[in-house]
Amino acid sequence: MLKTDVAIVGAGPAGLSAAIKAASFGADVIILERDKWLGGQLVKQTHSFFGSKNEYAGIRGIDIANIFADELEKMENVQIMLETPALGYYEDNILTAYSPQGKMLKIKPNTLIFATGAMEKMIPFENNDLPGIYGAGAVQTLMNVYGVVPGENVLMIGAGNIGLIVSYQLVQAGVDVAAIVEALPEIGGYWVHASKVRRMGIPILTNHSIIKALGKEQVQGAVVAQIDEKWQPVKETAREFQVDTICLSVGLSPLIELLWQSGCHIVYSKELGGYVPILNEDLETTVPGIYVAGDASGIEEATSAIIEGHLTGCAAAKKVGYEVPKEEFIKARKGLESLRAGPVSQHIRKGLSLIRR
Interface residues with other proteins (CB under 8 A) are 34-36, 46, 60, 119-120, 129-135, 137-139, 141-144, 146-150, 152, 172-174, 217-218, 255
Minimum Å gap between C-beta 161 and other proteins is 18
In angstroms, the CA 50 to CA 227 distance is 33
Minimum Å gap between C-beta 189 and other proteins is 20
Phi, psi of 118 (to 5 degrees): -150, 170
Q: Which is nearer to other proteins, 218 or 242 (CB)?
A: 218
How far is C-alpha 19 from the chain's CA centre?
18
DSSP SS3 for 146: coil
Q: Which is nearer to other proteins, 37 or 329 (CB)?
A: 37
Q: Which is nearer to other proteins, 21 or 44 (CB)?
A: 44
Q: Which is nearer to other proteins, 48 or 93 (CB)?
A: 48
Minimum Å gap between C-beta 133 and other proteins is 7
| Neighbouring C-alpha atoms within 13 Å toward the C-beta of 177 | 31
Side chain identity, residue 216: K
In angstroms, the CA 15 to CA 316 distance is 12
State the maximum Cα–Cα separation within the chain, in Å, rounded to a whole number. 67
Q: Which is nearer to other proteins, 18 or 133 (CB)?
A: 133
Minimum Å gap between C-beta 154 and other proteins is 13
Minimum Å gap between C-beta 343 and other proteins is 31
Q: Which is nearer to other proteins, 34 or 212 (CB)?
A: 34
In angstroms, the CA 18 to CA 284 distance is 13
Phi, psi of 162 (to 5 degrees): -65, -45
Q: In what order do the strands lie in the sheet with 221-226?
A: 208-214, 221-226, 239-241
Q: Which is nearer to other proteins, 142 or 354 (CB)?
A: 142
Minimum Å gap between C-beta 208 and other proteins is 23
Q: Which is nearer to other proteins, 256 or 311 (CB)?
A: 256
CA terminus-to-terminus distance, the chain: 34
| Sign of the CA dihedral with 310 first, then 98, 81, and 135 last | negative
In angstroms, the CA 118 to CA 217 distance is 29
In angstroms, the CA 5 to CA 79 distance is 12
Phi, psi of 127 (to 5 degrees): 65, 25
Phi, psi of 189 (to 5 degrees): -80, 180
Minimum Å gap between C-beta 37 and other proteins is 11
Minimum Å gap between C-beta 255 and other proteins is 8
Minimum Å gap between C-beta 86 and other proteins is 14
Q: Are 210 and 125 in contact (CB under 8 A)?
A: yes
Side chain identity, residue 122: M
Q: Which is nearer to other proteins, 170 or 178 (CB)?
A: 170
Side chain identity, residue 307: I
